[in-house]
Chains A and B, each alone.
Chain A
Amino acid sequence: MELATGWFMNAERQEAGELARGLRRRDPALIDDLIQRYQYRLFRYLVMITGSRADAEDLFQETWIRVLEKGHQYDHRWKFETWLFSIARHLAIDFRRRRQPQSLDELVQPTGTNRPLELEDTATSSAFEQVFQGEESASVANALAHLPPSYREVLTLRFHEDLQLEEIARVVDTPLSTVKSRLYRGLTMLRECLKDFYL
């Protein structure tokens, strides 16, 4: 069992190393493959943090261009998706800042100068309804629109993307304790929002 785990981890590390080398070379075929592989996950994450299909589409393209340009900065000790989501998040914040420079103050946490930037909540129920499919879309859209983006974000990273808590902390550039408290609070809010759905 231990041997199998060791072999698996070794293979995973080797794959991450090859990925890092490919990104440094800016291999177009590798980027094509990565876009194919991570398209749904990245788009879902962008939709969750922006609450807008149009913004998510713009940022989807920009994120991959940034991956190509900054490929040499990828640290293969971390999962690729952790780095990918972190890039997407920074772009989303820049995007919001460029679009609404007057609301820059709202993006920065009021206390402490070193606190990371937060995403602004502009999502509405209808914005999510346009994005999600299936019978449950209206209830899910309504529930998600009621969640503040910082909670929506960590819930997505944890329960959609199955990232570890440390990986989430790295993506959102926030202490682990804050990530945990957001997850607990977000879970409670989600349960409350969806109460009508399963009653």
Chain B
Amino acid sequence: MIARGTAKRETFFAGRKSCFTRICGCPPFLLAQLFSFLNVGALRVSFRSLGVGYPPGGDRRLLQQMDSTGARQGFRGKVAELAVASAVLLIATALAYVALVRQLADRDSVTHTHIVLEKLGAVRSNVAEAESAERGYLLHGDDAYLAPYGQAVRDLRRNISDLRRLTGDNPVQHDTLKLLDRLVAAKLEFLDQRIQARYQQRTGTSVSGAQEGPGRQVREEVNLLLAAIKEEEDRLMVQRSGALQSSASKTKMTMGVLAGLSFIFIFSAGLIVQKEIAARARVEEQFRSLLEFAPDSIVVVNQKDEIVLVNAQTEKVFGYSRRELFRQSADMLMSQHFRQQHPGLRTQLFGDPKARLRSAGLELCCLRKDGTEFPVEISLAPLETAEGRLVSCAIRDITDRKQIQEALRRQAEEVERHRSELALSNVELIAANHELESFSYSVSHDLRAPLRTIDGFSLALLEDCGEKLDAQGRGYLHRVRAATQRMGLLIDDILNLSRVTRSEMRHERVDLSDIAKSILGDLAIAQPGRHAEVRIKERLHAMGDPHLLHIVLENLLGNAWKFTSKMETAHIQFDQAPSSGTTIFFVRDDGAGFDSAHAERLFGAFQRLHDKDEFPGTGIGLATVQRIVHRHGGRIWAKGAVGGGATFYFTLAQTRR
């Protein structure tokens, strides 16, 4: 039985040897690889859960953690790796179990051999005891020796029977035992005969002849057989002890591997769990921070209208501490006015779970701890939680916005007021302009008619009654006529000045050089006796009203012509001055010039720096010129000296208005 068992186990191990060896048999290198794989896997799992695998981290990590799909995928991955790890552990455990079972079997067979050897010893001593008792009886004939003898024989028989049972599965031992059995039987028969003979001798029957004989030989044979059996068992003992030692060491190794694997898995699992917990804590912290430091006040209210959660902004805005608000009615944050005026709305907002809770941009009024009220915009969102429906209220203080709106409204009002004032002014201006137009129209018609009458009848008087007047009288009449005509000129110039201001302006490209040439040409024709050297720069262009610019040059060149009338040869120049910005035009003459101290007065209406008899004029020309230049967005100035000529500079805006 023992031998067969051994054979079976060897077959079993032979069949699985490759597998076993691969995993446990020659393990250090392969196992190290396996561990490193598992360990790396475990770390990878933990890294994934932390999102470290997707650097650089923050936002991406948060987004990934917020993304439930990603979380599910991570979870599936972890389950798979956990299954692999569990399978590895299971296989290792199974192998350890098998090794243990084998070790136990080996130990059993060693024990078995020990028992067999013990029994062999017992048989040997039983035989000796039986012989000794028999010899004693033979010598003394005392019955007292018979009892030990019987005991020894019974023990012997029992032990042999035991041996046969114990070695029943070993055919070699079985045959040897059969022989032993026979020899022992023969020996016992011999001993029985001698005891029988002694018994008869004591009772008169002789015992001789029965001494010694084959007895000694039998005993030696028995001893030889016993020695043979022992030798076989000793051989088995050695074999089995070796097997036991081997299986024990394998068991130890397998257990060691198992323990190692378990440690690594548990350690890795612990690491993963720890990092997962840390990651979750971070996410929670982030979300908590989002809520806590949100720019709006966040108040979470339960179905009983009790405040269950507030953030820092709420404390800051309302002036309550969290402790004061917790489990209090949300009413305490609402203004009295709102509570009274909008109970229905309030119920809808906070009480009735069936109401449509999602809303945005509700403008309401809230109440601070100090009793002041402030306008807010509230957005509500329902939260379904394990504790039931909660309502999250995002409350934004819109005091600033309201103030800005109010300021804007006031500004708009102001603007509107200014606008209407402007409109009114415009109406007044239009009326004034209208009036001015009527005025100049009247001037044009009504002031000139009497002058014509005065002049006309003065001349009629001179023509019809000239002889009746002396030279002095006729001189007076000439003065009347001269004054009248001068008045006519003044009126014309004033009308021109007012027209310059009132007339519609055109904007087009004007060739100033051409205009200057034509004006000076006309002047030369009007006074053919004058000698003048005229220099006009070619192609001087400007943007402006051609008619008005004509008036400008007419006046400036006319002045130059006029104030050089005393010169033998007049020098008149029209050109542009070097300038980095706006073009500066100038008209220069070498005539009478003017006192530069009075340069400012040149452009005032009716201002004259020369005697009107010396240089005739109304004093309105330069005022008109200045007005035109100003209307073009330019400016005009003059340089000159008495007797040193004059230069008039002017600019015109470059851009079209």
Q: A and B bound?
A: no
Q: A residues near B, CB below 8 A?
A: none
